Amino acid sequence: MSELHHECGVAAIYHLRGPAVSPLCPAQGADEVSRLMPRMLLDIQNRGQLSAGFTTYNPHRNQLIDTHKELGVVSEVFRLGHRGKFESLMNEYAGRAAIGHVRYATCGAEDRSYAQPFENHHLQKHKWFSFGFNGQITNYVELRDRILRDNDNYLARETDTEILLHLIGKELSGDRDPSPVELMRNIDRQIDGAYCLALLNARGDMFVARDPLGIKPMCYAIEGPLFAAASESVALLNLGFQPDSIRSLEPGQMVSIVDGQIEVERFAENQRSAHCFFEWIYFANVASRMDGRGVYVSRKALGEELAAQETVPLDRDTIVVPVPDTSKAAADAMAYTLGVPSLEGLIRNRYTGRTFIEGSDRRESRAQSKYTPLREVLAGKRVLLVEDSIVRSTTMRVLVKRIRQLGKAREIHVRVACPPIVAPCFYGIDMSTIGELFAPRFLVDGELTEEAQAAMAEELGADSLRYLPVESIARAVNFQASDLCQACITGEYPTSCGQQLYQVALANARGHNATNGARTYEAPRTVKA
């Protein structure tokens, strides 16, 4: 699923109290714990490669909070390949607390002004804040138009992050000085969608919060004087936190640090959970663990689900080949269960970049250079080609063609460790229109029939294609289906605005409304009278 992209990842770190040096802190001491942030962001780089940045807090400098952010991957933004420039950055932004962010644009433009964290300068310390945001606000257009109805208001960017900046600023306006839990309670009442937030202000107060449905993941840990949080547990584990100290923030919960005191509080009640199932099957690092479920174990279970429904005759020339890299766990488990080899018939060039950030022509061209088929592995073989999912199909078409023409495979049977993607995502995954999706036009009244899968296989140039049924996902992730967001495979959204946007997307797909290729939720600005 290399043509699909998540939106963002967030991280936070804070030296609370105690000795200047703890086992997890850098040798420079508590006031330079911000040095750990680039390392954390590297571990969640999979969640966003368009830009990166951090904001640090230091009570001993004039800029109490200060932000560094640029377009590029973490290693570029923080100059990790140049020791002198990295040290200069770390010295300039040294602080006892930091929040960080990696971004890809599902909303707004691809330029530096959209990079996060977003910092809001103010004379009063509690109103001078910076925050990072992972997710998507589905009632963005409604909130935007409400703000712009006041002629004194102005929005510089087409992004829901700026909407949040405005909402937070309004909660802090006048003589207001709400506690973190009061602020988040008031913000949550106004928004529909998915979010995790990390906020830091010039008083040194910090909080991280997770939406009441828990759509986006957020993990945290406390050991001695050090607190840290991140979108994925692997960032905390690699920092040195013990596995038993790492836990997932519950939906509707937040961790706040005020005056050096840390509290875990609930700011919103949740009637149900709606964890994004894509986290386990694709987005998250395979070493991560979220909401009590290991990513690797879930992907392994998906492979076993694939094996259970396999009907192709198996012989000594049958091999399983994963599409690198996130399909490997499922492919290996499928092969082991079937008793056939799992071989690396495709070698990934790790230096070509991510294909989904390009237009369709560039995406196809780069997909060709991204994967190299190995003829000595594939020639004359019946290949069970395992992929995480097929979204737009560009990459899969290229792979099937190259495996057949260059790899000289005898047969190619595509096996997808996910049900068909039939509906857009409005919660932070870059697939917002039905027209861009591969599967919907083949389904008969929404049903995945044998005939539909045969037609899809022919379209891709494969000998056969098989998807997993929807019920396989809950079994593999080990959640009740009612605790997962499966909107993109069922068309049933966990929030009211998400369901409304789906109706808009359906109307657009039927040709009732022209969108000129725009994302469903990027409606034109309301024109003022």
The secondary structure of 276-307 as a DSSP string is: ETHIIIIIS-TT-EETTEEHHHHHHHHHHHHH
Q: Judge whether 25 and 226 are in contact, CB under 8 Å.
A: yes
Q: Are residues 185 and 305 in the same domain?
A: no
Structure tokens at 235: 């960032």
pLDDT, residue 446, reads 83
* Cα 23 → chain centroid: 30
CATH number of the domain encompassing residue 217: 3.60.20.10
Which helix (H) or strand (E) segment holds residue 275: the answer is strand 275-276
Q: Are residues 257 and 317 in the same domain?
A: no
Contact 228, 41 (CB under 8 A): no
In a domain, 284, yes or no: no
Q: How far is CA 292 from CA 246, 295, 418, in A?
A: 10, 10, 21
The residue behind tokens 């990079």 is 115
**260 shares its domain with 332:** no
Question: Would residue 283 count as lying in a domain?
Answer: no
Among 8, 107, 196, 488, which one carries the catalytic annotation?
Answer: 8
Same domain, 198 and 95: yes
Omega into 325 within 30° of 0, i.e. cis?
yes
Q: Which pLDDT score is estimated for 28?
A: 65
**Residues contacting 474, CB < 8 A, separation 6+:** 480, 481, 484
As given in the structure block, the two tokens for residue 20 are 């200047």
Task: Give yes or no: residues 191 and 318 share one domain.
Answer: no
Do 70 and 184 lie in one domain? The reply is yes
Q: Taking a C-beta distance cutoff of 8 angstroms, is the pair 208, 218 a contact?
A: yes
Contacts of 412 (CB under 8 A, 6+ apart): 383, 385, 400, 403, 404, 461, 462, 463
Residue 304 burial (C-beta neighbours within 10 Å; 0-12, 13-18, 19+) = middle
Whether residue 288 is contained in a domain is answered as no
Alpha-helical (H) ranges within 320-470 are 328-338, 360-370, 375-378, 394-405, 450-460
CA torsion 346→349→355→360, rounded to 10°?
Answer: -70
- Each residue's pLDDT expressed in tens, for the chain with a length of 529 residues: 444 445 699 999 999 876 555 667 766 677 899 999 999 999 999 998 899 999 999 999 999 999 999 999 999 999 999 999 999 999 999 999 999 999 875 444 567 888 999 999 999 999 999 999 999 999 999 999 999 999 888 898 888 999 999 999 999 999 999 999 999 999 999 999 999 999 999 999 999 999 999 999 999 999 989 999 999 999 999 999 999 999 999 999 999 999 999 999 999 998 899 999 999 998 899 999 999 999 999 999 999 999 999 999 999 999 999 999 889 999 999 999 999 999 999 998 877 654 443 445 555 666 777 899 999 999 999 999 999 999 999 999 999 999 999 999 999 999 999 999 999 999 988 887 899 899 999 998 888 999 999 999 999 999 999 999 999 999 999 999 999 999 999 999 999 999 999 999 999 888 755 445 556 655 544 333 2
Dist CA 469 CA 467 (whole Å): 6
* Contact of 52 with 101, CB cutoff 8 Å: yes
The CATH number for 451's domain is 3.40.50.2020
Looking at the fold, whether 251 and 316 belong to one and the same domain comes out as: no
Please tell me the predicted confidence (pLDDT) of residue 206. 98
Burial of 337 (0-12, 13-18, 19+ CB in 10 A): middle
In the chain, how many domains are there? 2
501 part of a folded domain: yes
| Catalytic site includes residue 8 | yes
Claim to verify: residue 41 and residue 168 sit in the same structural domain:
yes
Quick one: 235 and 318 in the same domain? no
Domain match, 300 and 393 both: yes
pTM higher than 0.85, yes or no? yes
DSSP state of 292: T
Amino acid, single-letter form, for residue 76: E
Q: Is residue 246 part of a domain?
A: yes
Domain extent at residue 482: 294-509
Predicted pLDDT of residue 326: 86
Q: What is the pLDDT of residue 363?
A: 58
Q: Is residue 527 part of a domain?
A: no
- In-domain check, residue 457: yes
Closest CA to 491 of 419, 413, 442: 419
Query: What pLDDT shows up at residue 526?
Result: 37
The set of residues, in sequence order, having a beta carbon less than 8 Å from that of 108 and lying 6+ positions away, is: 114, 157, 158, 159, 161
389 shares a domain with 241: no
The predicted structure's pLDDT at residue 528:
32
- Output the pLDDT for position 307: 98
β-pairing, 275-276 vs 484-485, is parallel
**163 and 216 assigned to the same domain:** yes
Inside any domain, residue 521: no
Report, in angstroms and rounded to the nearest whole number, the Rg of the chain calculated over CA atoms: 23
Residue 355: per-residue pLDDT = 43
